[in-house]
């Protein structure tokens, strides 16, 4: 496993590589590779989840002094939910180096794979914490996860599809629709291109390994465009 690209991507130099090799080991991989010298990543995921919650809670508590506890909870959930963390995994390339069984590797779509991707982000945070301490782990969280805080706060903790729907109904008295424009790839690795429409007008296009993710991508692109 070559972790050089990951280190460059996140701007962190690892010391004990074994922590990160374990963080990237899914339990299914060990079933097919019993000689692999590391445990699966579930203990590191457990640790990383706690570090992530503390770091995000600490930051939003400081940055949003006028918000009540209930709202802070909503914002935290939006930042660290499965979909958000799976997006981080994809952005920094964890999906490409995660060790999976052949069967799990073929299942590139669906909630199961999304959950695996989210879990490996938490495991990576746990590895950074053990290897380099809380400050480095928090720095990773700030650079990769908390960068979305302003968008989350602006949207009230809602996802982009909800925001686009509210915008379309308020401004145009219509409900936006999504249409699949293209679908390609083998059954185990589909790729969708989806259009976001206001009645007959195409407003944006999104892509992803499922219709739902492509729709969300289209909504995010439209929402980013109308904010600027």
Known binding residue 201? Answer is no
pTM: 0.71
Domain residue limits, the chain: 16-154, 160-227
Spatial separation of the C-alpha atoms in residues 116 and 112, rounded to whole Å? 6
Measure Cα distances from 45 to 28, 112, 149, 165 in Å.
15, 16, 22, 35
One of 1.10.3720.10, 1.10.260.40, 1.10.1520.10, 1.10.730.10 is the CATH number of 16-154, namely: 1.10.1520.10
- Could you list the active site residues? 49, 122
Give buried/exposed letters for 169-199 (b at 16+ CB in 10 A, else e). eeeeeeebebeeeeeeeeeeebbbbbbbbbe
How confident is the model over 169-222, as pLDDT tens digits?
888 999 999 999 999 988 767 889 999 999 999 999 999 888 888 898 898 888
Q: What is the pLDDT of residues 76-97, one digit of tens each?
A: 988 998 888 999 999 999 988 9
pLDDT per position as a tens digit, 91-122: 999 988 999 988 777 665 555 688 899 999 99
Of 1.20.1630.10, 3.30.160.20, 3.40.50.11540, 3.10.20.10, the CATH number of 160-227 is: 3.30.160.20
* 33 labeled binding residue: no
Place of tokens 């203990």: 43
Question: Is 122 one of the annotated binding-site residues?
Answer: yes
């Amino acid at each position: 496993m070559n972790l050089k690209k990951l280190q460059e991507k996140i701007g962190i130099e690892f010391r004990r590589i074994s922590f990160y090799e374990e963080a990237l080991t899914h339990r299914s991989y060990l079933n097919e590779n019993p000689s692999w010298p590391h445990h699966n990543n579930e203990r590191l995921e457990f640790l990383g989840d706690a570090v992530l919650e503390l770091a995000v809670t600490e930051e939003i508590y400081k940055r949003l002094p006028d918000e009540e506890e209930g709202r802070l909870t909503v914002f935290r959930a939006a930042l660290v939910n499965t979909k958000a963390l799976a997006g981080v995994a994809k952005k920094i390339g964890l999906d490409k180096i995660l060790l999976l069984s052949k069967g799990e590797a073929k299942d590139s779509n669906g909630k199961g794979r999304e959950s695996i991707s989210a879990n490996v982000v938490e495991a990576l945070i746990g590895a950074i914490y053990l290897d380099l301490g809380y400050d480095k782990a928090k720095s990773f969280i700030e650079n990769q996860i908390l960068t979305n805080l302003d968008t989350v706060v602006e949207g009230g903790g809602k996802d982009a599809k909800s925001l686009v729907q509210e915008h379309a109904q308020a401004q145009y008295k219509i409900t936006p629709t999504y249409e699949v424009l293209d679908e390609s790839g083998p059954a185990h690795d589909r790729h969708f291109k989806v259009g976001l429409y206001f009645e007959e007008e195409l407003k944006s296009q999104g892509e992803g390994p499922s219709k739902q993710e492509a729709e969300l991508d289209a909504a995010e692109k439209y929402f980013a465009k109308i904010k600027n």
